[in-house]
Amino acid sequence: MKNTLIVSKFTFIEVYRSKVMMSIVFMALALVLITYIASEFAYGAPVKVALDFGLGVMTLSNFGMAIFIGSTLLTKEVEQRTLYMILSKPISRTNFLCGKVIGLSSVLAINTIVLSGLAIGIYLFLGGKFQSLILWASFFTFLEAFLLLLFAVLFSLITNTAMAVIYSIIILIIGHSLNETSKLIFAKMNVYFNNAVKVGNILLPNFYKLNLKDFVLYQQTVSTDYLYNVFIYYILYFTALSIIVVQIFKNKNLD
Amino acid sequence: MIEFKNISKSFQYNFWDKKFKALDNVSFNINEGELVGFLGANGAGKTTLIKILMEFSRQDSGDVIFSRTMGNTPEKIKSSIGYLPEKAYLYQHLTGKEFLEYTGALYGIPKNELKELIAKWTDRMAIGYAIDRRIHGYSKGMQQRLGFISSLIHRPKVLILDEPLSGLDPLGRRDFKNILKELNNEGITIFFSSHIVPDVEEICNKVIFIEKGKLIYEGSIDELVIKNSNDLYSVKYLSGEKIETIQVNEADKREVLTEMLKNGLNIVEIEKEKPRLEEIIYKIKS
């Protein structure tokens, strides 16, 4: 465990000093600009539009970061052979992988805190009312990005970087659309399609449930039971995926 | 200390390609206290074998057996090994000091002790002045030195070095060789691969030579040299102001020397003619 934290600490320092952190600054500026322009053009509900755009930019930048960092996390280490320097020390592959993922998730956490903080700040500045649900939405966006990061790592272990990016984007799209797809009349009428959607719902992550932005913007409330259930679903899915990723990495030939 | 037992490894880059045998039933031992040179041309299978030893790559068949003195768990065995890959690839955004703190912490070295060790070794390897700089500003030789420090900072029982002298300037090579000899005299077993024969000949007492994945020779360098020597001696003597050399064979040696002394010749040196290790290697290969 101690060695996992050592790896995560130095992974964070390494990423913090790379250009990734510059992208957070760039995204923060973009968020301010986009939110301001959007609220200026929104007649009637500028505050809501500002929050919508703010959370939207934060979500997109988290996804982008998760996919691109996750898909290069281990391939870069293998290609640049930095991994040999660390795996030759008394640390297991499992601990190394966990340390890398935790280190990178802390970058995602910073991105979430900075951008959601800015989005909330602008929202409050324009006269919006604070609601704790916004914080839940930000937290769930972080969880969603963390899961996506793990998918990107998984794909990078079994294919190349470019394909890992493409597959991760596909997972993201399917994960968001499966829930609504199952409600289509076509899906209900077609037995095979319906069964395929059901299987997809079991195997693929249900990102739709992690997206609380609609609750924040329109209903402004969500039951605690819903939040807990989604969180438990997330933990179970995340654990299962982590086990698969660790097993693949443990048995991978690092030629 | 480390025994390689019938190691074989093949690669197949595409499923329609023919399998390429990188290692073919390779067996040899590294014994405690030895300074072993692992020789072979580029592509002979040296790095593949080292990767198998470090468990980065899996062999198709065979075993790597570590002695009990190295530990009884994978973590303990790794703690008693110091490894430097071919060219040190380091985290470019960390400073040299941070990198050593990182690797030192993984070995569980207490902070204060680690600080002292970093100061000692960075001075010894002449990179102390650059220790607070980020690694991407280091030259290739400096990175090699930093990587080398990270492999020995915990005082391992065995040092496994993959082409440690490549990319170093002549001064750097001399420093590295001196340190390797020093460490070996202090009791650290060293196994290093190289394709440069004179480097191995200069510092090693044992050589392992592989060619196209097959073990060609394992044993002491002296034994190999004597085995491949002829029975000629070169005798140098003073002739006026010049030094002349004559060659005599083992059988005639005594008679010729007695005759020379009788004639009042000033014998300067008598040396058994020995081929250089490089010449022997070429001979074996051909």
Weakest mean pLDDT among A70-74, B8-12, B108-112, B229-233:
B229-233
Q: Which of B13, B56, B60, B135 to mutate to test the interface with A (most CBs of A within 10 A)?
A: B56
Query: Domain B2-80+156-226: which CATH class?
Result: alpha beta
pLDDT at B143 over 70: yes
**Number of domains chain A is built from:** 1
pLDDT at B177 over 70: yes
Contact state of B78 with A13 under an 8 Å Cβ cutoff = no
Name B174's Cβ contacts closer than 8 Å, sequence gap at least 6.
none
What is residue B285's predicted lDDT score, i.e. its pLDDT? 67
Residue B10 C-alpha, separation from nearest chain A C-alpha, in angstroms: 11
Q: Is residue A255 part of a domain?
A: no
Residue B125 C-alpha, separation from nearest chain A C-alpha, in angstroms: 19
Name A83's Cβ contacts closer than 8 Å, sequence gap at least 6.
A74, A77, A96, A254
Contact state of B105 with A88 under an 8 Å Cβ cutoff = no
For A240, the token pair is 């299962």
Rounding to the nearest 10 degrees, give the CA dihedral for residues B237, B242, B247, B253.
Answer: -10
Contact state of A255 with B134 under an 8 Å Cβ cutoff = no
Under 8 Å CB pairs connecting chains A and B tally to: 78
Q: Domain-by-domain residue ranges, chain B?
A: 2-80+156-226, 91-147, 230-275
Task: Among A3, A15, A80, select the one facing B89 at the smallest CB separation.
Answer: A80
Contacts A10 to B, Cβ<8 Å = 91, 94, 98, 102
Going by pLDDT thresholds of 50, 70 and 90, the confidence category of residue B100 is: very high
Q: Is residue A227 part of a domain?
A: yes
Q: Is A239 exposed, middle or buried (0-12, 13-18, 19+ CB in 10 A)?
A: exposed
Task: Among A6, A7, A84, select the one facing B85 at the smallest CB separation.
Answer: A84
**pLDDT tens-digit profile of B223-267?**
777 777 777 888 888 887 888 888 888 888 888 888 888 888 888
What is residue A239's predicted lDDT score, i.e. its pLDDT? 94
Q: Is residue A207 part of a domain?
A: yes
Closest CA in chain B for residue A8: B102
Determine the 3-state secondary structure of B215 from DSSP: strand
Q: Is residue A54 part of a domain?
A: yes
Question: What string of pLDDT tens digits covers the 255 residues of chain A?
Answer: 788 999 999 988 888 887 777 777 787 788 778 887 877 777 777 788 888 888 888 888 889 889 988 898 888 888 778 889 899 999 999 999 999 999 989 989 998 998 899 888 888 888 888 888 889 999 999 999 999 999 999 999 998 889 999 999 999 999 988 888 877 787 778 888 888 888 888 889 888 888 888 888 776 678 888 889 999 999 999 999 999 999 999 988 887
Domain of residue A213: give its range: 2-250
Higher per-residue confidence, B98 vs B234: B98
What is residue B248's predicted lDDT score, i.e. its pLDDT? 86
Q: Is residue A29 part of a domain?
A: yes
Weakest mean pLDDT among A206-215, B42-51, B277-286:
B277-286
Contact state of A10 with B75 under an 8 Å Cβ cutoff = no
Rounded to two decimals, the pTM is: 0.84
Contact state of A81 with B87 under an 8 Å Cβ cutoff = yes
Highest-confidence range of B118-122, B136-140, B193-197, B207-211, by mean pLDDT?
A: B118-122
Separation between Cα atoms, residue B194 and residue B84, nearest integer Å: 13
Q: Is residue A237 part of a domain?
A: yes
pLDDT at B50 over 90: yes
Contacts B106 to A, Cβ<8 Å = 3, 6-7, 86, 89-91
Mean pLDDT in residue range B77-100: 88
Residue A203 C-alpha, separation from nearest chain B C-alpha, in angstroms: 30
- Quick check: ipTM above 0.90? no
Q: Is B115 exposed, middle or buried (0-12, 13-18, 19+ CB in 10 A)?
A: middle
What are the residues of chain A with a beta carbon less than 8 Å away from any beta carbon of chain B?
Answer: 2-3, 6-7, 10, 13-15, 17-18, 80-82, 84-92, 253-255
pLDDT at B202 over 80: yes
